[in-house]
Amino acid sequence: MTFAHPYYLLLLLLIIPIVAYYIFRQRTLTAEIRFSSLAPFANAKKTYKHYLRHLPFVLHMLALTALIVALARPQKSDSWSNKTIEGIDIVMSLDISSSMLAEDLKPNRLDAAKQVATEFIAQRPNDNIGMVVFAGESFTQCPLTINHSELINLFKGVECGMIEDGTAIGSGLATAVNRIKDSKAKSKVIILLTDGSNNRGQVAPVTAGEIAKTFGIRVYTIGVGTRGKAPYPFQTPYGIQYQDVEVDIDETTLQQIADITGGTYFRATNTAALQDIYKEIDQLEKSKIQVNEYSQKEELYHWFVWAMLACLLAEMLLRQTVFKSIP
């Protein structure tokens, strides 16, 4: 229950001095009759009038209370809302070739990409998200799903060496397109992350980009790796040895794919830059949420008006019958 004019409730404080004055009058204005002996009244029983003598005053105070509450206009509020969420379908195409083990990003390119991608997934609870991995060939690691906890678990299980080595960027993009092309979502997005140049596969990267454009799919491409050389671990008979390897990212092709599909090309030279890229994509691709709120208020003051009238009527009847006094 709410009140349209709650400040009227402060008038309830007036009841305190009224009750105090009534008690004072009862103690000071009581009539006295003197008897020489109270013996004749020793066994006299008190009538119901004695126990109900304060009832008219109580009814009067209840009527006053009901009047004050009615002036404050009590209301009953009912509110509800309808929420319509239009999610986005996203396929993340991740390069898992052996070069992703380079440690210019910490702990290495692949682990950094997995960590940032899982954070991105956790921030988009309303989207269908899937995953494609590629190296010398490509396959779907997880189809589009709203079960993000399972998707994150599959992401964590991705490792280099799961498939034949190489960098088939075109195949990775084409597989992602195949997974999302029949989606009914109004917004379809592919995030393709790689650290190299296309050297395997039957589909040229730009051709895969043209196919994505045909289906209205926007592709964000990310080239991951420092500029110049990056430390790469090699297994030797004496343990792991590190060697600086030239970073070779086909930025021209990645930029072309992004331009063709209406996406954006990003270059991540360190883990912080990769995090910023995913944050920017998160801002560019927002789910549409429409909320319609409704509220309805029901006035309750009339119930208190009726209660006040009932108390006043009962008080008047008692004063004119049971407690009628002679002037």
pLDDT tens profile 14-44: 889 988 888 888 777 666 666 666 666 556 5
Q: Please, are residues 194 and 223 in contact by the beta-carbon 8 Å criterion?
A: yes
Predicted TM-score (pTM) of this structure = 0.65
pLDDT for 41 equals 57
More confident residue, 20 or 293: 20
Task: Tell me, yes or no, whether 306 and 206 share the same domain.
Answer: no
Q: Are 142 and 264 in a shared domain?
A: yes
Fill in the DSSP letter of residue 45. Answer: P
CB 203 within 8 A of CB 174: yes
Highest mean pLDDT among 20-24, 264-268, 297-301: 264-268
What pLDDT is stored for residue 199 in this prediction? 93
77 compared with 303, residue with greater pLDDT:
303
145 assigned to some structural domain: yes
With respect to residue 224, please indicate whether it lies within any of the assigned structural domains: yes
Both 146 and 190 in one domain: the answer is yes
Do residues 257 and 141 share a domain? Answer: yes
Residue 288 has pLDDT above 70, yes or no: no
On whether both 239 and 153 belong to a single domain, the answer is: yes
Whether the predicted pLDDT of 289 surpasses 60: no
The 8-class DSSP code of residue 13 comes to: G
Same domain, 239 and 312: no
Number of H helices, E strands in the chain: 10, 11
Within a domain: 188:
yes
Asked whether 63 and 312 are in contact (CB, 8 A), the reply is yes
For the chain, the average pLDDT equals 87
Is 131 within 8 Å of 138 (Cβ atoms)?
no
**pLDDT at residue 173 tops 90:** yes
Measured CA distances, 100 to 134, 161, 196 (Å): 11, 11, 9
Give the Cα separation of 200 and 249 in Å (integer).
15
Give me the residues paired with residue 297 across strands. 77
Highest mean pLDDT among 40-44, 75-79, 258-262: 258-262
Query: Does 135 lie in the same domain as 72?
Result: no
pLDDT for the residue 151: 94
User: Who's near 111: CB < 8 A, 6+ residues apart?
Assistant: none
Same domain, 164 and 304: no
- State the DSSP string of 204-236: -HHHHHHHHHHTTEEEEEEEES-SSEEEEEEEE
* Same structural domain, 74 and 100: no
Q: Say if 178 falls within a structural domain.
A: yes
Confidence of residue 167 (pLDDT cuts 50, 70, 90): very high
The domain that contains 122 carries what CATH number?
A: 3.40.50.410
How much of the chain exceeds pLDDT 70, in percent? 87
- 94 and 67 in a common domain: no
Number of structural domains (the chain) is 2
Whether 103 and 246 share a structural domain: yes
Looking at residue 43, its pLDDT comes to 63
In a domain, 280, yes or no: yes
> Could you give the CA distance from residue 109 to residue 190 in angstroms, rounded to a whole number?
19
Q: Which of 134-148, 229-243, 277-291 is modeled with the greatest confidence? A: 134-148
Q: Is 43 contained in some domain?
A: no
Query: Which residue has better confidence, 297 or 253?
Result: 253
The more confident residue out of 287 and 243 is: 243
Whether the CA torsion 175, 181, 183, 186 is positive or negative: it is positive
Assess contact for 190 and 126: CB atoms under 8 A.
no
Give residue 178's pLDDT band: very low, low, confident or very high (50, 70, 90). very high
**196 inside domain:** yes
Locate all alpha helices (DSSP H) within 215-300, ordered by sequence.
Answer: 251-261, 271-284
Same domain, 69 and 215: no
46-55, 174-183, 276-285: range with lowest mean pLDDT: 46-55
More confident residue, 300 or 84: 300
Range of the domain at 9: 2-27+48-79+295-320
Would residue 243 count as lying in a domain? Answer: yes
Please tell me the predicted confidence (pLDDT) of residue 40. 61
CA distance 279 to 265: 14
Model pLDDT for residues 195-251, shown as the tens digit of each residue: 999 999 999 999 999 999 999 999 999 999 998 999 999 888 888 888 999 999 999
